[in-house]
Amino acid sequence: MVEVSAGPCGQMALTLRISEIFASLQGESTRVGLPTVFVRLTGCPLRCTWCDTTYAFRDGHSLTVQAVLDEVARHALHHVCVTGGEPLAQAACGALLTALCDAGYSVSLETSGALDISAVDPRVSRIVDLKAPGSGEVSRNHLPNIDQLTPHDEVKIVLASAADYQWAREQIAHWRLTGRCPVLLSPVSGELEPGQLADWIVRDKLAVRFQLQLHKILWHDARGR
């Protein structure tokens, strides 16, 4: 999907397909509640059953890395989250992440976990999904990513059912995930009762972080919030 603009500007002239850039509160992860600029890249090779950003599968507009930085700067916030879609599906995503770090931002990346994260700038906090069976995409988990995780990263598992929760427990134990980085467990809205998931976590004394999507509580499914 990457398009390369000819010219002397190197990495800053690489172009990306952008769905939207907007300022909001971070709705998930250990950064929840922080005012953040979101850079949403277009396109995703997965089709999770409960995906809430299907509008990012297509369309958008082309911007150079420099133009994205200019738009991010306009919002004058310290935290930037690069998300999607699946941002790593665009080859210029790495250049964007590095440019944002070089510009002094605190940068996070939300990724499906289906693509290799090893080349991502180490200054970036990688929020890596581990897709549970209820997503329909469990076979897409790129498991070598697990050995790439550092305490600076996070694993997010979205759960649609009791079966998903049991699967998550097994994965957390098998891969010793909570010893590697923060682990976030989220219920699929409308499919798994949040209080039920909270009860299971407390009952099982899991060393994970329960999370709800703050932006949905505040603004429901409004786009660009």
Note whether 85 binds ligand SF4 by CB under 6 A: yes
* Gap between the Cα atoms of 136 and 95, Å rounded: 31
Among 16, 48, 96, 107, binds ligand SF4 (CB under 6 A): 48
Place of tokens 């929020």: 127
- The count of other CB atoms within 10 Å of the CB of residue 179 is 11
Q: In this complex, which beta carbon is closest to ligand SF4, that of residue 102 or of residue 221?
A: 221
Counting DSSP H helices and E strands in the chain, the numbers are 5, 10
Cβ burial, residue 150 (10 Å; 0-12/13-18/19+) = exposed
**40 - beta bridge partners?**
20, 83
- Residue 75: CB atoms within 10 A of its CB come to 15
Q: Binding marks (x or -) toward ligand SF4, 112..131, rule CB under 6 A?
A: x-------------------
Q: Which of 60, 84, 94, 134 binds ligand SF4 (CB under 6 A)?
A: 84
Any contact of residue 58 with ligand SF4 (CB under 6 A)?
A: no
64/211 with CB nearer ligand SF4:
211
Which region among 48-56, 63-71, 160-168, 212-220 touches ligand SF4 (by CB under 6 A)? Answer: 48-56
Strand-pair category, 14-25 with 35-41: antiparallel
Q: Is 46 in the site for ligand SF4 (CB under 6 A)?
A: yes
Token pair recorded at residue 169? 């427990």
One of 11, 53, 98, 189 touching ligand SF4 (CB under 6 A):
53
Total residues contacting ligand SF4 (rule CB under 6 A)?
10
User: Judged by CB, which is closer to ligand SF4: 69, or 183?
Assistant: 183
Select from 11-19, 78-86, 198-206, 207-215 the region that touches ligand SF4 (CB under 6 A). 78-86
Q: Does residue 186 touch ligand SF4 according to CB under 6 A?
A: no
Binding of ligand SF4 by 47 (CB under 6 A): yes
Distance CA 201, CA 195 (A): 10
**Contact region with ligand SF4 (CB under 6 A), list: 79-87, 99-107, 116-124, 206-214:** 79-87
Long-range contacts of 217-225 (CB under 8 A, 24+ apart): 218/25, 221/52, 223/20, 223/55, 224/20, 224/22, 224/24, 225/22, 225/24
Among 199, 126, 122, residue whose Cα is nearest residue 165: 199
For ligand SF4, the binding residues (CB under 6 A) are 44, 46-48, 51, 53, 84-86, 112
